[in-house]
Structures are given as C-alpha cells and as structure tokens.
Structure 1
C-alpha cells in the first residue's frame, strides 16, 4: 500500500491517542487502534492487526516505567504467560486462515473475510464490556472486592497472591484464562488489557489501581508474543509501526500521569463510555459493509 507524509502524520496522531489511553486505563489501546486504522484510514485488516500488536510495546514499556512496577506485580503475570503464548499462536493462525479465504459474497456484494470476522468480534466484545463497565461505575472498590468468581473456581492446584487479593486461585483456571486472552489478542491485534482489566476487577475483586499495574505487565508480555507471531506471518509494516510509536510513547506518559489523579469510579465510567463509542463506530461500519 502507498504510504506518504500525510498518512504518516495521521497514523502518528492516532498512536498518540492510543498511548494516552494505554497509560490511563492500563490497556494496550488496540481495541481502538485497529478500527481506526482499518475503518478511518483504510489500512488492510491484517496489517492493522499486525501493526497494532507490535506498536503496543512502545506505550506499554513507557507506562510500566512511569508507574514504577514492583516485583510483587510480576507474580500473577508470570503464572499466566504460558497460556498467553499458546493462545497468541492459535489466534494468529485463525487470522491467517481468514486472510487466505479472501472474500465471500452476500447479496451480490463481495466482503473481505478477515475484515468482517474481526469487526464482528470487536463489536460484540466492546458492547458487552462497555455495558459491564458502566454498570459497575457506581460500585466502589470495596464492593467489587466481594467478587466470588475466584471462590467458585477452586480447581487444584491452587496459588495465593496476597498482594492482589485474599484467598487462593486455581492455576488451571489461570492457564485457561491466559489461553483465551492470548487467542483474542492474536486474532484481533489487541494486547488483552481490555478483557484483562474487567476480569481482574470484577472477577477477582482486585482494587482498580492495583489491577491496572498488574494489567500493564501482562499487556507488555502479550504484546511481545503477538509481535513475534505476526512478524512471522508478514503482517507487520515497519513504517506504520514507527509512526504509531512516535505518538504512542508520548501519549502513554501523559495517560499514566492522569491515571494517578483519577479515582477508580471515574476510570471505570470513562472506560465504559469509550468502549461503547468504539462499538458504535464499528456497528455503523458493519451496516455499511453489509448494505453496500
């Protein structure tokens, strides 16, 4: 695809916005970046997914350094790493299969398989997570800490993470969650923070700011794994990634500074509205895609 100065500046601006969100909410921002690159800038879906997976490394690294992650924040991410890797490999393989299928016809209109599949999954995921985040916006961290998911899934062997929450958590459950998170990350080009953050807060009852620190570490790990996998399949455009990183690393630092000044209730509410806004944009794109 052609790549001029205007394209470079537009993509770099998008990277700045994504980096800001990464630092503010503890997510990679791919859930917003992939739709913007594909829908707004017209970049092919496989290149948008590959670039998104790769560029997250810049903002994620900046966010980690800005928050001064401690050793205790590494325990849970290291346990989940194995499942993440297997999931990323599976997700990128599914995307490659969709890319090989090329197109299908619906009412006489040709639709690109990879674009359609990725956008539909994005729409459903963002809609559900946005509603969940807004419903929880009126609940305090103390109320969320009463989450029972970790208590219901006590499949041995168990592990304890006293710095995150009280009680123990099943290692098999952690592994399967990592597998699912990696699968979505590899397929959609996201770092997984958008799914991970609600899981840590609503499923495990971890306080919002501590959950964001833990999420940032996992975001960095899965971003590294996804970058290697997508580069292997030739889905990473260096020029797109460079443009994204230029804006992303600056935005991430600003987002991390703002995060420290906001309360957990504010973060969850703003996160929910952001998710629903992106879901609306994708929904409009799907309507035009199907209606022609």
Structure 2
C-alpha cells in the first residue's frame, strides 16, 4: 500500500511539474511524511532527487535556445552554495533533536511558505483579472553591474547579475533545508522580482530544477538520505505525469497559469494544515 501511495504521488507531482514549472517536492515531502512511515530526512533527500525525471521529461519537450541558459547558469552558483548551507542546517536540526522535532520543523516551515505564496499569488491573479496588474521587476537593480538584458511584459530591461545570484542563494537554502526543488520559489520569484513573463519563468525554472536535482543527488547522498526504491517509484510516475503537464501548459495563458498555481498552493496549504492538526492531535 505504501508503494502505491508513493507511485501515485509521483505521478500527480509530475503533472504539476510539467504544468507549472515546479519540481513538486513542496507537495511530496509533507504528503509522504503524513501518508508513510519513512523518516522525514530520507523523504527530503529522495524527493529532492526524484525531480530529475519530471524535469528531464519537461525540458526535452521544450525547444530551448542557447540564450535561455544564461539565467539558469547565473542562478546555479548561488543555488549550489545555498543548498549546501541548507543541507548543513537540516543536519544540525537532526543532530540536536529527535525525529519528531525534525518533522515538526519541516512541516511548519512548509505551511508558512505555502500559505504566504498562495495568498499572494491569488491576490495578484485577481488584480490581473480586473485589469489592475501589480508592478513587477522589484529586484532587477540595474544600477548594480554587471547586468543582463531580458524581455519583460512589453520591453527589454536590465537585471543585475549580483541580484540574480543572491536570489539563487535563497532558493538554495530552501532547497537544502526543506528538500524543495526550488521551482515553487523560482517561478513567482523570476516573474515578480525580475519581471520575466510567466511562461518563460516556468521554462527557466524547470531547466534549473533539473540542474538542482543533479547536484542534490550528490549532496544528500553524502548525508545518506536517499532511498533508491522510493526515488525509482517517484521517477516512473513523475516522468509520465510531466509529459501530460507540458501539453496542458502550452494550451494555457500566463494569467490563468498564475491563478491555477495560486489555488494549487492554497489547496495544498489547507490540506496540509488539516493533516498537521489531525496528526498532532
């Protein structure tokens, strides 16, 4: 029964990955924490690795140009550094606490993050529907050199490479500590903070998610947090689901994707909150 739960979870998360450009670990880790008896640190390591399947399937479905790799490679250095720091932080929590305390820290961190992102995304999507879109590109910082030019909503604009790198460090910290693939932060971050259109943000995110998964394999393997049986089952389901998700994404507008993403986060947050309260009681 536990194996079936893992396989179905991988398929659903793969669908989400292909549709929204996120790895899906933000759903997998808490879901499998509640639904299985696998220790939280093993789930974090295994789920961080499994995203390689959906990411590869989605990337192969894209027609990637060489210029599209600039932003992923700039972010990657910060993400790798942040992931190492986050993984060490998780190890510190694991060393100084028992298994229940580690699970509680991970679960509460997930809930706070997902509720915040979901509420903000829904608010922005409703403003967009009323033709009152909020300004984007809050963290471009073009006065900090060197810069990179990207195409925004209506025109090209410059983005500080330093700002992109620091953003990568933050994403890496969350990836290393919570087992996130980073996509749940990358997609809204690239759009709102750096002014990159939604669909392109999703593509760039999925490219990075694949890169993050490769280095996550080595980092978490060093801490002996990977269960190959779990990774294998998640890879099978996730790869199939991702192909379906990419097809659906191509048929959906950017505004609709952001609204659907918001509802996904809020539904996840609500369900996880209920599970957490029930589990605690």
Q: What interval of TM-score do these two structures reach, taking the shorter chain for normalisation?
A: over 0.9
Unaligned runs of 5+ in 2: none
1:286 positional shift? 3.3
Q: Which residue does the alignment assign to 1:131? A: 119
Q: Which residue does the alignment assign to 1:245? A: 235
1:8 positional shift? 2.1
1:102 positional shift? 3.1
**SS in structure 2 at match of 1:136:** helix
Q: 1:177 to 1:217 in 2, by over 3 A?
A: same
Do the aligned partners of 2:6 and 2:233 also contact (CA within 8 Å) in 1?
A: yes
1:163 positional shift? 4.4
Query: For residues 233-267 of structure 1, what are the alpha-carbon distances to aligned partners after superposition, in whole Å with 9 as ceiling and x for unaligned?
Result: 00000000001011110000000000001111221
**SS in structure 2 at match of 1:201:** helix
Q: Which residue does the alignment assign to 1:35? A: 30
1:145 positional shift? 8.5
Q: Which moved further from structure 2: 235-244 or 94-103?
A: 94-103
Do the aligned partners of 2:148 and 2:161 also contact (CA within 8 Å) in 1?
A: no
Q: Which moved further from structure 2: 131-140 or 17-26?
A: 131-140
1:285 pairs with 2:280: no
Give distance in 1, aligned partners of 2:158 and 2:42. 41
Q: Which residue does the alignment assign to 1:161? A: 149
Give distance in 1, aligned partners of 2:137 and 2:39. 42
Unaligned runs of 5+ in 1: 1-5, 104-110
Give distance in 2, aligned partners of 1:155 and 1:95. 36
**Matched pairs, number:** 277
Q: 1:71 to 1:236 in 2, by over 3 A?
A: same
1:78-117 → structure 2 map (5 Å cutoff): 78-103=73-98, 112-117=100-105
TM norm structure 2: 0.92
**SS in structure 1 at match of 2:172:** helix
Give distance in 1, aligned partners of 2:267 and 2:102. 22
Do the aligned partners of 1:149 and 1:203 also contact (CA within 8 Å) in 2?
A: yes
1:132 positional shift? 1.3
1:173 pairs with 2:163: yes
1:146 positional shift? 4.2
Do the aligned partners of 1:58 and 1:245 also contact (CA within 8 Å) in 2?
A: yes
Do the aligned partners of 1:155 and 1:171 also contact (CA within 8 Å) in 2?
A: no
Query: For residues 171-202 of structure 1, what are the alpha-carbon distances to aligned partners after superposition, in whole Å with 9 as ceiling and x for unaligned?
Result: 22111111110000111111111011111111
1:68 positional shift? 2.3
Q: Which residue does the alignment assign to 1:3? A: none
Q: Considering only aligned residues, what root-mean-square deviation do their CA atoms show, in Å?
A: 1.9
Q: Which residue does the alignment assign to 2:253? A: 263
